[in-house]
Amino acid sequence: MTSAPERPQTWQVCIACGHEMVETDPHPRCTRCGGLLEVDHRPLGPSRVDLLRRFTDRRGGGASSSGVWRFKEIVLPSATELISHPEGNTPLLHRAALDRWTGLARLLLKHEGHNPTGSFKDRGMTVGVTQAKRIGATAVACASTGNTSASLAAYAAQAGLPALVLVPAGNVALGKLAQSLAYGAKTLLVRGDFDDCLRLVEQAGEQLGVYLLNSINPFRIEGQKTIVLEALEQLSWTPPDWIVLPAGNLGNTAAFGKALVEARTWGLIDRLPRLAAVQAEGAAPFAQSFREGFARRHRVKAETVATAIRIGDPASYDRAVKAIRETNGVVLAVSDTEILEAKAAVDATGVGCEPASAASVAGVRRLVAAGTIGSTESVVAVLTGHVLKDPGALLAYHQEAEPPPPGANRPVEIDPSLDAVARILGSR
């Protein structure tokens, strides 16, 4: 007797109409209604104990030791030929100075700047590019505020796929642009903002047949879930009270919510931390919707020093609303001044991060001051990108701003004499 063919484990499901598409369908959106797709894994085979053992056993080496692919069962179980750097396995840091700065008893920092191209985008991209290879894509493309393009460029190069990246001309941090060029992506500087880039690349995907690796790509979300899974693992699966992250296009907010709900469903944790998504005041359409109970979606013309979250019409809005609702989360906005002060505080501990990342730490301080987060609650703030991503913002803050901001560390030009050095030492 032959058994019935096994139902595939992974599907793409439309979050608007419920339409189901096979795992290898290359369409970026629901083919019935245009809604956002979500990857659905079912059913999950191994028991909790078995899963946890697999996650740690894989740390041994090779592509499956990556901080993404260690969690393969809940990322993309059917993937075999992995395009992995490897990535992930990032540290959970503690710096007492930041406890004092935020007013918390203990703040933990999940530092995603430790990924191979310096941002969490690598966690999504290893899955996205692995999927692109699986379905036989001949080229890949994305719109980006910079980090997605740096990451896509690197992973496409590894996979041997041509990559096309669209970034807003004049508004990409130097380190990110440099990476796209270095890794060999065809880089288009679009005379418009990120939201224009996103529209354009979606049209290109439809009409020119390239595989889209924007954050609307549901496989990228699956990879980004592992930020949360790994942090929970580092906390021995005792969930923190809060997880705080910067929010721009809202892919990560969506990924965090999905990871938490799934982790509870699969018995990995017994309660959900609350999510706090932090936007920049000049790019805060999601915070505005939150204040109105998500009664309606907003679009704004975005402006902020934190270019990675300089987004006025977030693509993953619907998914992120779900994430905030399901985790009893909050959304807030902080000013560019608060972001830069938080960044200076993080940088001064020797940890360092890019401006957008510091929004999470600025958000923690705000929420503690407002009493939303209790000072003894356990909090993980995510630092999304590396300090070297945006040298322009650093020099502007430390070297150029007049009057010097509170954390400015001005370089001093001297004559080549020991006297001059001694004078500086003496004046400290």
**Do residues 118 and 389 lie in contact, with contact meaning Cβ atoms separated by under 8 Å?**
yes
For residue 193 the two structure tokens come to 């903002």
Which positions ≥6 away from 279 have C-beta within 8 Å? 246, 247, 248, 285, 286, 287, 309, 331, 332, 333, 334, 359
Is position 14 an interface residue for Zn ion (rule: CB under 5 A)? yes
Is position 218 an interface residue for ligand PLP (rule: CB under 6 A)? no
**Distance separating alpha carbons of residues 382 and 216, to the nearest angstrom:** 21
Is position 33 an interface residue for Zn ion (rule: CB under 5 A)? yes
User: How many C-beta atoms surround the C-beta of residue 158 within 10 A?
Assistant: 16
Q: Looking at 23-31, 144-152, 305-313, 344-352, which segment touches Zn ion (CB under 5 A)? A: 23-31
Q: State which of residues 16, 92, 181, 261 lies at the interface with Zn ion (CB under 5 A).
A: 16
Taking CB under 6 A as the rule, which mask of x and - marks residues 156-195 in contact with ligand PLP?
Answer: ----------------------------------------
Is position 244 an interface residue for ligand PLP (rule: CB under 6 A)? no
Toward ligand PLP, which CB reaches closer, 168 or 385? 385
**Distance separating alpha carbons of residues 362 and 336, to the nearest angstrom:** 10
Q: Looking at 16-24, 41-49, 76-84, 234-242, which segment touches Zn ion (CB under 5 A)? A: 16-24
Kindly write down the DSSP assignment for every residue of 407-425, as one continuous string: T--------S-HHHHHHHH
Q: State which of residues 215, 217, 304, 327 lies at the interface with ligand PLP (CB under 6 A).
A: 215
Is position 357 an interface residue for ligand PLP (rule: CB under 6 A)? yes
Binding partner of residue 327 among Zn ion, ligand PLP, none, CB under 5 to 8 Å per kind? Answer: none
Q: State which of residues 248, 257, 273, 363 lies at the interface with ligand PLP (CB under 6 A).
A: 248
Is position 282 an interface residue for ligand PLP (rule: CB under 6 A)? no
Q: State which of residues 32, 53, 100, 423 lies at the interface with Zn ion (CB under 5 A).
A: 32
Is position 384 an interface residue for ligand PLP (rule: CB under 6 A)? yes
User: Residue ranges of the alpha helices (H) in 276-427?
Assistant: 285-291, 317-326, 336-348, 355-369, 391-395, 418-426
Binding partner of residue 151 among Zn ion, ligand PLP, none, CB under 5 to 8 Å per kind? Answer: none
**Distance separating alpha carbons of residues 73 and 168, to the nearest angstrom:** 36
Burial of 5 (0-12, 13-18, 19+ CB in 10 A): exposed
Q: Which residues bind Zn ion (CB under 5 A)?
A: 14, 16-17, 19, 30, 32-33, 35
Q: Which residues bind ligand PLP (CB under 6 A)?
A: 119, 121, 147, 215, 246-253, 308-309, 354, 356-357, 384-385
